[in-house]
Chain A
Amino acid sequence: MDTLADMAGRSDQSFAHLGLCYENLADYVAGVVPFVENALAEKTPVMIAVPGERLDLVREHLGAAADDILLADMAVEGRNPGWILPGVLLDFANRHPDQPVAMVGEPIWPDRSVDEYPACVVHEALINEAFAGRDGAVLCPYDVANLEPAVVKDAHQTHPVMIANGATQSSAQFVDPYATVAEFRNPLPNPPAVAAAMTYRHPADLTAVRRFVTKEATRAGFDSARATDVAVAVNELASNTIEHTAGGGRIAVWSDDEAFICQVADGGHIADPLAGYVLPPPSERRGRGLVLVNRASDLVRMHTHSGGTTFRAFFYR
């Protein structure tokens, strides 16, 4: 088996971002377990963040070795695709700053919704940039027997190296991660006509912003803790508008069967595709607002261009 460094797809960095196509559970075990055991043999810290039933499977096959691994249920910890980098993968890597790290991260499964999926692809693309220059590897299993062919195609676009049928190959379809991010942060459809809306412009408006979304979230059936999550997220987005743009912004909120949804739109442009995905070092006073939005929300979609930025935060029922 190759070392982590050998598996790196690009010569300018030692980080390996590997897609693993599996047809069945035997494939899964054959791909994940040796990856983990090799890392453990090199004394590399290992985390496995995959959906619960897959977690049980690898735990069973790793036996006592699983005790040395951080295990996380991706369907819980990584339910919000935008939280996986700051809250799961980078959080783990940052706890081992001077060592390579090995991570298994499975962010995409057949039940991912059509709203979630583009955010998952953005996450996969941004892994390449968030870990650039870092020593280590992320292995991302794809359930190719149950995922749409287009999803498998996208995996080839976001992973420099793909593993299928036991063979490790660099992906000919891999493209500039930021091009993929732009592609999957496509414009959002308009809010429904029934959406409640308000505008804001000044710092003093923020109290009204929080009161508005808290009231609407409560009306949608949220308890006070969840309504507070909504207020925290929308407050950060609206604060960003007021701090960083010349004009104000507009909030629209509505509900569907699955979620309470808040859209925050302004005239600003977010130039850094990693904004909201990477926590700055503890000493840095700024740059956490969008990470907090990801923390408080179940899903965040975003479209940004030179003429404006639209965020859409989903809070599941």
Chain B
Amino acid sequence: MRSAVTLDRLQAGDHVCWAFDDDTDPPGLRIVGEADLATRDALVAVVAGLTEDAAVEDRPITVDVSELSFADGAAAQALVCAARSAPAGVRVVGALTTLARLISLVGGDDVPGPSIHLDHTDDDVSGSSPEGSEQD
């Protein structure tokens, strides 16, 4: 199990170490909570750690967002920016359709190179099609 960071428990300036020990394969981290203005500094800390560690990592880094229950546009943008600095790219796992769409909108699918790769779980209903509604 990848180690988790819970956004609302982080303080501004906290250093988040992504610490890729050999037991964690693929290397990465789970982000837990809601990524909004209230936790933006925490997310910046997470992303700073990602950027630092990604620079020396030759495998794609996995960011597990399946327990991220909300992400705003700035959060999506922060992930995309971090992904750009990772030589082997970033794999986002468990993104709800909403976050996937936000990432796409902020340019995450427009970047040449490995960059950001989305593994959809689609555990919320997709897009705005009314017929696709499974009850949650």
- Which 7 A-B pairs rank lowest in CB-CB distance, beginning with the nearest? A203-B38, A282-B107, A223-B133, A225-B125, A203-B37, A292-B73, A239-B37
A188-225 CB contact bits vs B (8 Å, 1 = yes)? 00000000000000111011001000000000000111
Among the stretches B13-21, B48-56, B76-84, B87-95, the one at the interface with A is B76-84
User: Smallest CB–CB gap between B104 and chain A, Å?
Assistant: 10
Give the interface size bracket for A toward B: 20 to 34
Q: A282-B111, A286-B74 are known contacts; what are 8 more A-B pairs with Cβ within 8 Å? A: A203-B38, A206-B36, A207-B38, A225-B126, A225-B132, A232-B102, A236-B73, A288-B106
Q: Which residues in A have some Cβ–Cβ distance to B below 8 Å?
A: 202-204, 206-207, 210, 223-226, 228-229, 231-232, 235-236, 239, 242-243, 279, 282-283, 285-286, 288-289, 291-292, 295
A291-B105 contact, Cβ under 8 Å, with A232-B72, A235-B36, A239-B36: yes
**B130 contacts chain A at the CB level, 8 A cutoff:** yes
Asked if B38 and A285 make an inter-chain contact with CB atoms under 8 angstroms apart, the answer reads no
Q: Which residues in B have some Cβ–Cβ distance to A below 8 Å?
A: 34, 36-38, 40, 70, 72-74, 77-78, 80-81, 96-98, 101-102, 105-107, 110-111, 124-130, 132-133, 135-136
One of A224, A286, A288 near B105 (C-beta < 8 A): A288
A210-B105 contact, Cβ under 8 Å, with A223-B133, A243-B37, A288-B77: no
Q: Which residues of B contact A225 (CB under 8 A)?
A: 97, 124-129, 132-133
**Docked pose: A243 CA to B130 CA in angstroms:** 34
Q: Which residues of B contact A288 (CB under 8 A)?
A: 73-74, 77, 105-106
